[in-house]
Structure 1
């Protein structure tokens, strides 16, 4: 089989540790991949590049079209742009996809039947980053919701639901208050939903919707939202499922795609060998599916699940009486490869 070429970046904090673990697993599974390594993140910022991404890295990213990205650190203070926002907007990665699934009883979860996917618009809303200091005492940010952007993400959500055998798509907005912006998102959802009669469609105001994610996630299936709501909801949902450290994320565009863990660079535990590589591994599994390598993805996913079922857990998911063995990054990786 001809090998697929991807781009890899090791990131900051725990990024290098978990990326090395994931690449070891991909190699052990004989994934037909080759990769080019680029440097983005904190060290690049410190060299005076405000985006955190040097020009030569852009060339590699665009040539390979698929990026597997470890978490990066944005330095504190003004003048530094978010790498994630820059990548998503520059590469047209309009859809963020975050599956949030409970792995009970092997990983503790308050909602053992939870199995939902949050699909959020990835380029617009408040993440456009257009802010103003109107006066000494007043600031302003612009919320951008467009017809093309909304139609793209809503249609993607319904196509995803159909492709994965999901039964329902729930739109969440705050259009009882923001009647023009969120109102547009809701109206386009209603229009597009008519083209998918085989899939149940519903709308919820985001505050009660968030309460249902927290209290009754098993009643939800696919959620589609504007950018900010989806970002908040997906972190809440991932933690409810068991741990933010278990969740991966896809950023999908028409030409490019980026895959990453949803957690940050966690500099407080960097270098200690205790980080859980599962989030980045889940992102890599999504990447393999995207590349048409479903069998390899399934083999890795099954080995990872078997490791969890055998009670071999990193510190973030270890529970007395539930887990059998507490391990660090390397030993957890070894256990997956063994399986």
Structure 2
């Protein structure tokens, strides 16, 4: 049976990938996760119940431990998703982003190189290292155009700068050492099990509780939205069939302004959980995020033509599934709102920490 290590596998995108690999592809998965605030073991419970998924609580920055773990587990692939990922948190506390996203990626690449160098024959030919990144490394688009794999990097936030650095490390380890690396860059993900600091789950939960729905600036910033299960399928495909040393962009072709997203959530909730007043009345415009990129949009043509991937969910179908999941799973999100993150504004310049 194929064995895969997934770093950050108890987080949002990582757990969707783990569930896909175990439940759909039938492989064995070792989840490596530090279990920080955004990780949740409940996210991988369906995979663990099969007996083909195990959690190892560890820090990817511990290179010696990663080297020992990879040697012991002898995986066919390493899918590296562990990262600090929230732009607002990177503004108020950039240190953790540099530590995890840059140093942690270096640690994983070196540990993987040590293991791969020891392999021979088919095992060495079969091994792959997938580095999972973001479209935010490309910076901001104007009203027209799309991000391509050849778009120059122009990161705006500490988060995107840390991910850009990690992308460059991954490519360098392939070019310098021959490590069989593939890189992916994705647009904004949404779906079940999304920690409620990000726009869509935050708005869903605030709206359910009758709280203000904060929209940065005029709400005109545009994002390309990708349903997380579609992304998980893409990552499995890229890791197995992507050309070594290449980058593949993953996007849903679902551009929406932030205001349109918030309004769509309000409308969906008004249908699924009606109240006497429209939830659009809760929309509140707040001071914009520092360095807020205006528009992201991914061209996924390379992934679609080379590997045959297609997004299955439109924004409308994916959003309805997402809203319904949060309505059906208060047992998952209520403890987080009470004890981990209650929805307060993050990333204000007055909150900057060394």
TM class by shorter chain equals: 0.3 to 0.5
TM-score, normalised to structure 2, is 0.35
Relative contact order higher in (CA < 8 Å, ≥ 6 apart): 1
The structure whose residues are more often helix, as a share, is: 2
TM-score, normalised to structure 1, is 0.36
